[in-house]
Amino acid sequence: MHAKWPLLLKIQLMGLTGINRAKNSGDAKEKRKTAGGIVALAVVGAVILFYAAMLAVGFCAQGLGKNLPALVVALASVIIFAFTLFQGSSILFATKDHDTVMSLPIPRWQVVLARMLCSYVVNLAFALAVAVPVTVVYFIFDGFSLGAFGTILLSVLTTPLLPLAVSAALSTLIAALTARMRFKNLLQSVLGIALFVGVMIASFSFSFSASANGEADMAALFGMLVGKIYPPAMLVDMTLSGAVWGVFAFAGISLAAAALFVIVVACFYEKINTALLSRGARAGYKAKDVKSSSAFGALAKKELKRLFSHSGYLLNGVCGALLLLIFGVALAFIDLQTVFEIPAEDFAAFKSILASMGAGFMMLFIGMSCPAASALSLEGSSRGLLFSLPVSARQIMLAKAMPTFLCDCAAGLVFSVIFGIRLGTGVFGWAALLLTAVLYSAFTALLGSFLNYKYPKYDWTNETQAVKNSIPMLIVIFGNMVLGMAVLLLSVFAGPWLALGVDLAAAVLCIVIFNYLKKVKLYV
Q: How many CB atoms lie within 10 A of CB 114?
A: 22
Give how far Cα 83 sits from Cα of 95, 164, 340, 374, 497, Å.
19, 9, 28, 17, 34
Per-residue pLDDT of the chain (524 residues; tens, 9 = 90+): 467 777 777 777 766 656 666 666 666 666 666 666 667 667 666 767 777 777 778 777 777 777 788 888 888 888 788 777 766 566 676 566 666 666 677 777 787 788 888 888 888 888 888 888 888 888 888 788 888 888 888 888 998 888 888 888 877 777 666 656 655 555 556 655 665 556 555 555 544 444 444 444 566 667 767 777 788 888 888 887 778 888 899 889 999 988 898 888 888 777 777 666 665 444 454 555 556 667 888 888 888 888 877 766 777 778 788 888 888 887 887 777 666 666 776 677 777 888 888 888 889 889 888 889 888 888 877 788 888 888 888 899 999 999 999 999 999 999 999 988 888 888 888 999 999 999 999 999 999 999 988 888 877 766 766 777 677 888 888 888 888 888 888 888 888 899 899 999 999 999 999 999 888 888 76
Q: 428-435: which pairs have CB atoms within 8 A and are 24 or more residues apart?
A: 428/495, 428/496, 428/497, 428/500, 429/355, 429/356, 429/358, 429/359, 429/495, 429/496, 431/496, 431/500, 432/358, 432/359, 432/496, 432/499, 432/500, 432/503, 433/358, 433/359, 433/362, 435/500, 435/503
Please name the helix (run of DSSP H) or strand (run of DSSP E) that holds residue 200, with its range, or none: helix 184-208
How many angstroms separate the CA atoms of 366 and 322, rounded? 10
Cβ(168)–Cβ(266) under 8 Å?
Answer: no
How many angstroms separate the CA atoms of 350 and 353, rounded? 5
How many angstroms separate the CA atoms of 310 and 302, rounded? 13
How many angstroms separate the CA atoms of 461 and 109, rounded? 20
How many angstroms separate the CA atoms of 62 and 219, rounded? 9
How many angstroms separate the CA atoms of 501 and 432, rounded? 9
435-453 pLDDT per residue, tens: 999 999 999 999 999 998 8
Cβ(463)–Cβ(379) under 8 Å?
Answer: no
How many angstroms separate the CA atoms of 452 and 449, rounded? 5
At 491 the pLDDT is 85
At 210 the pLDDT is 45
At 393 the pLDDT is 86
Give how far Cα 334 sits from Cα of 218, 241, 322, 359, Å.
22, 38, 18, 20
How many angstroms separate the CA atoms of 102 and 105, rounded? 8
Collect all residues with Cβ–Cβ distance below 8 Å to 481 and sequence separation of at least 6. 364, 367, 368
The SS3 call for residue 171 is helix
At 443 the pLDDT is 94
At 216 the pLDDT is 43
122-174 pLDDT per residue, tens: 888 888 888 888 888 888 887 888 888 888 888 889 988 888 888 888 777 77
Q: What is the pTM of this model?
A: 0.65
Please name the helix (run of DSSP H) or strand (run of DSSP E) that holds residue 347, with its range, or none: helix 344-356
165 closest CA partner among 131, 103, 119, 216: 119
What does the angle CA 473 – CA 475 – CA 476 come to, to the nearest 5 degrees? 65
Residue 370, amino acid: C
Helix axes 311-333, 184-208, angle to 10 degrees: 40
420 closest CA partner among 355, 366, 325: 355
How many angstroms separate the CA atoms of 451 and 468, rounded? 14
How many angstroms separate the CA atoms of 265 and 192, rounded? 19
509 closest CA partner among 483, 471, 474, 491: 483
90 closest CA partner among 278, 311, 380: 311
